[in-house]
Amino acid sequence: MSVTSDPLQPSVSAGSLRSALGAAVPVVAPEDDGYAAARAIQAGGVEHRPAAIVRPTDAPEVAAAVRFARDAGVEVSVRSGGHSVFGLGAADGSVALDLRGLDGVEIDVEGRTAWVGGGITAGAYSHAAGEHGLATPFGDTGGVGVGGITLGGGIGLLSRSLGMTIDSLLGAEVVTADGEVVRTDADHEPDLFWALRGGGGNFGVVTRFRFALHEVSQVVGGVLLMPATPESVAGVVAAADAAPPGLTVIVMVMPAPPMPMIPDQWHGRVVVMANACWSGPRDEADAALAPLRDVAARAGGALLDGLRPAPYASLLEGGPPGGPVVATGRSFFADGVDETAAAHLLEQLESCDAMMRAAQLRVLGGAVADVPADATAYPHRAARMVGNVAAVAPDAATALGYTPWVDALAGRLRQGDAAYVNFSLDGGEAAARAAYPGATWDRLRDVKRRYDPQNLFRGNVNVPPA
């Protein structure tokens, strides 16, 4: 976990930055009234202080800011529209690029493609595409920035049917470390295009993404809530793994929040929340969802059955907890969760006193596994499940105290040493090597050397240049 950093780099003059960019580009400096709000990032509790925050509205303005930072020897950090649990979008002492002004959407309905700005959220884009009965697969939360989730891979509610977000990425407009604006796709700068699909923000600032769109007018999905037992945890994971590719299930095992749709007597008790999405033929939905409902019945009955026909974009709700909170967590890959591991998981969730603690289990396979492991910079195609164990606390010191608990539980559930970069709460080399093992690491370092030899873009799960 990282919530502060030591700015060991030259200071930036806001005046000289404004002169370089021109009066039309907003620059927010520490002495300005709006600085505190501009540097705030969800979730709260992150106290980073960038030297200046730039709010560009197009690629040339981004390029000018990158050239200024490069010439000044100052790190560039990038906020792509959503949240950053450990504050990578506003690193201490950096020139922070807030891309939320790059939020345009251009949809080619007949061609089934879209160009979208690097600062738009997954929810905003999905609602725009949904008006045409179309969708690009993202995660399970509308508040994430398209840039962050795409560059790390993108695992969500359509993954088993349509693949990861990177599998629908057709091209990108990128500002590189030398301040040039380039277009990349399978035929132009192909090594950069390969690296952008899973390699994170190591290679430049993506100002626009070109996505494939798929016909997804409505899905059948929502939350199926049931009592947590070793049998129900293992049973939901097994049912999701055995389901047809049209069904994707994200399982949360956690104390039930005090939400009005959850029976009062279950508030604070550990439950299984199966967030499911069926995107296959509507008349096959009941059969596909029946095994999940059977698990709930065997556990004593569903506490909430919210599975219903709905637009895909409506399932992308929620986000990180609000307020001044700090998270610590660990991601892992596994082939599944048996009843013995599930029993240990429940014991640990009951024994922990963190204000919020959870294990999230995203069942993979399907279209995710159909892509060769070396086709993109996401190499974990054969994994059956990606998980994440997290604890949330009101401040950094308290959160740090839960790190041993998080590490131990993730260690018990994991199989192998790999990790998913979008769930990493640590930007160090160990996290990067876990996300990018073997030949993927070597190739990423080579691409980094060619496009960012000085490691200007290091506010991420960093891959150093070869």
Q: Same domain for 168 and 213? A: yes
Q: Same domain for 322 and 435? A: yes
Q: Same domain for 256 and 274? A: yes
Q: Same domain for 89 and 225? A: no
Q: Same domain for 327 and 206? A: yes
Q: Same domain for 163 and 232? A: yes
Give the domain-ending residue among 66, 100, 134.
100
Residue 462 inside a domain? The answer is no
Q: What share of the chain is helix, strand, coil (3-state, %, to 5)?
A: 35, 25, 45
Q: Same domain for 209 and 94? A: no
pLDDT, mean of each 10-residue run, the chain (466 residues)? 41 83 89 84 68 94 95 90 62 86 97 97 96 96 93 97 98 97 98 97 97 95 97 98 98 94 93 97 97 98 96 81 74 96 98 95 98 97 96 88 95 93 81 94 98 93 93
Q: Same domain for 290 and 155? A: yes
Helical (H) or strand (E) element with 399: helix 396-401
Contacts of 247 (CB under 8 A, 6+ apart): 160, 161, 240, 276, 277, 278, 280, 288, 289
Q: Same domain for 82 and 113? A: no
Size of the chain in residues:
466
User: So what's the pLDDT on residue 11?
Assistant: 67
Q: Same domain for 78 and 139? A: no
DSSP per-residue codes, 408-463:
HHHHHH--SS---GGG-S--SHHHHHHHS-HHHHHHHHHHHHHH-TT----SSS--
Measuring CA to CA, which residue among 367, 337, 224, 339 is closest to residue 289? 224
User: So what's the pLDDT on residue 6?
Assistant: 40
Give the domain-ending residue among 100, 118, 153.
100
Q: How distant is the alpha carbon of residue 425 from its chain centre?
A: 11
Residue 457 inside a domain? The answer is no
Before 129, cis peptide (omega within 30)? no
Residue 222 inside a domain? The answer is yes
Residue 210 inside a domain? The answer is yes
User: So what's the pLDDT on residue 65?
Assistant: 95
The total number of structural domains that make up the chain: 2
User: So what's the pLDDT on residue 1?
Assistant: 39
Residue with tokens 């806001």: 14
Supply the pTM of this predicted model: 0.93
Residue 461 inside a domain? The answer is no
Residue 443 inside a domain? The answer is yes
Measuring CA to CA, which residue among 86, 17, 88 is closest to residue 52? 17
329: CATH: 3.30.465.10
Longest CA–CA span in the chain (Å) reads: 67
* Residue-number span of the structural domain to which 331 is assigned: 102-452
Give the domain-ending residue among 57, 81, 100.
100
Q: Same domain for 347 and 398? A: yes
User: So what's the pLDDT on residue 38?
Assistant: 81
